[in-house]
Amino acid sequence: MIKKSMTTTRRTALKTSAAFAASIMTSPRASAAEHSDVIVIGAGFAGLNAAIMLADEGLSVTVLEANNRVGGRAFTADHIYGSPELGASQIGPYYARVRDTAQRLGVELSPGSNINAPFTYALGDTLIRKEDWEGHNLNKTVGAERAVLPQAMQGYYMGKYNPLEGFDDWLEPEAARYDIPLAEWLIEKGISEEAMRLVNAGLVAPDAWNVSLLTLLQEATRGRLMSGAGDAKGKDQFEQYALASAHVVGGTSRLPEAMARYLGDSVLLNKIVSSIDMSDGGADVTCLDGTRYRSDFVISAIPFGPLRRVSITPTLEGEQGAAVRHMPYATNTQVHMRLKGEPYWEQDGMDASLWSDGALNIVRQPFGYDGSRDRLLAVGTGKKGERLDQLAPKDRGEFVVKEIERLRPSTKGKIEVTGVHSWPQYNFVYGCRHSYGPGQVTRFAHDMIKPHYRMHFAGEHTRRLEIGMESAMESGERAAFEILERTI
């Protein structure tokens, strides 16, 4: 267990600050609202990590979480057969903060994560084996592209031409020239029309014209480190990540739950923050249920989608305001299924997972950590995800089963839908991840994380060097340090 620091030096410094004390006393609403040094909004990895760091430094912290659970996009679906991860699962080999926190809180990690059966490729109605892809007559890619599997096409170009070396290169002024559409750069590098179609078929952004190359280059640079680790060399990117990663035993949610337990009763659930009012005297944070909380500082550790719905006084201005209003978020919609009867892959003799250029992106056949193979997960991202989300949840499941049965007749009568989940439709998150459009890294990345009066910003969308859960932890750490510096 982390040992909570007994020191109250900084807290004492804050409490005795004449300006703060006077202003709190003169505020007409102060008597009704509970006061903390810092209010953290959002109990995902970013908010929880910030709160732990501040509490360990002796500051009083209140965490307000809109949902009835902590973890945000770390969400082990214990209500769905097999307890699938709806969000984060893979803990990269160099996730120092995540791994350290798990160790200190006694949360067990185990090697390997999110390992799937290899893919069979569905182009139109035709199924193609991995080993037949390069020479298949439906593979219309050109030259060296022909040997690249469809899901690896973007990674192939990134790996070959990525000009970034360091993890923070993407934030340097000279990197602005790469803040262009992914499609423009791929065309410049000589991608064939068919390879571009395959890239588009698997993107989480709407298409290659609407995502900044620069943000993808940053991820590829960081991913290079992750995928180069351990025994993963020489495998495709998905396999590399899966093999080099670890997972939380019992589900990813167990880690944020342990973090919240450590913070004790300072984490409040079902608190939908609706407004933040800042004055010289402090910050008033009001929730939809009418409760009010007061603090010297606020950390917004919520995605920009829900932050758009919070009224902030004084208003966010300039590029910071524009970033909150306009940052695009990517789609990820999922249908979880249980398999019955004889394994369909033994019946048709093809690899069990499916990559498709049709209505779905991929259908994964995951290996359970106990070796079981009785589940399927269909994922729709980008425009495909948006189209699936137009269907009612029940119809979404039916549509997906029909589509899989059509592509893969050996699955007929063997699939039962166990759950659906859409990140764009999930309350208080509204999208699976931020996804800068072309030009937006240059416009937003620096300005959007600047402190605004008493308000600081955290969350994966404010990342600097890391990716995924580790980037959320990194951002919480940065916001906590910003506040600690102001309280010394």
Ligand X SMILES: Cc1cc2nc3c(=O)[nH]c(=O)nc-3n(C[C@H](O)[C@H](O)[C@H](O)COP(=O)(O)OP(=O)(O)OC[C@H]3O[C@@H](n4cnc5c(N)ncnc54)[C@H](O)[C@@H]3O)c2cc1C
Residue 251 as a binder of ligand X (CB under 6 A): the answer is no
Determine which residue in the list 46, 61, 211, 283 makes contact with ligand X, applying CB under 6 A. 46
Closest separation between CB of residue 43 and ligand X, Å?
Answer: 5
Q: Does 468 bind ligand X (CB under 6 A)?
A: yes
Does residue 232 touch ligand X according to CB under 6 A?
Answer: no
Binding string, residues 363-402; x marks residues near ligand X by CB under 6 A:
----------------------------------------
Q: Contacts for 98-105 with beta carbons within 8 Å, 24 or more apart?
A: 98/45, 98/255, 98/469, 98/470, 98/473, 99/246, 101/49, 101/52, 101/255, 101/259, 101/473, 102/248, 102/255, 102/258, 104/1, 104/2, 105/1, 105/2, 105/255, 105/258, 105/259, 105/262
Q: Which of residues 278-317 bind ligand X (CB under 6 A)?
A: 301-303, 306, 310
User: According to CB under 6 A, which one of 20, 45, 121, 329 is a site residue for ligand X?
Assistant: 45
Residues 398-457 that bind ligand X (CB under 6 A): 423, 428-429, 432
Q: Binding ligand X by CB under 6 A: which of 24, 53, 88, 420?
A: 88
Q: Which is nearer to ligand X, 223 or 459 (CB)?
A: 459
Which of 87, 223, 385, 419 forms a contact with ligand X (CB under 6 A)? 87
Q: Which residues pair with 416 in a beta bridge?
A: 338
Binding ligand X (rule: CB under 6 A), the pick from 53, 55, 60, 65 is 65
Total binding residues toward ligand X, as defined by CB under 6 A: 38
Alpha-carbon distance 144 to 136, whole Å?
14
Binding-site member from 38, 43, 327, 377 for ligand X (CB under 6 A)? 43
Q: Shortest Cβ distance from residue 73 to ligand X (Å)?
A: 3
**Residues in 314-353 that interact with ligand X by CB under 6 A:** 332
In the complex, least distance from residue 388 CB atom to ligand X, rounded to whole angstroms: 14
Which amino acid, one-letter code, is at 166?
Answer: G
Q: Which of 102, 246, 272, 420 binds ligand X (CB under 6 A)?
A: 272
Other CB atoms within 10 Å distance of the CB of residue 305: 20
Q: Which is nearer to ligand X, 185 or 426 (CB)?
A: 426
Nearest to 171 by CA among 476, 443, 471: 443
Does the protein bind ligand X through residue 44 (CB under 6 A)?
A: yes
Question: 161 vs 151, 156, 157, CA distance in Å?
Answer: 18, 9, 6
Contacts with ligand X, residue ranges (CB under 6 A) = 41-47, 64-67, 72-74, 87-90, 271-273, 301-303, 306, 310, 332, 423, 428-429, 432, 459-460, 468-472
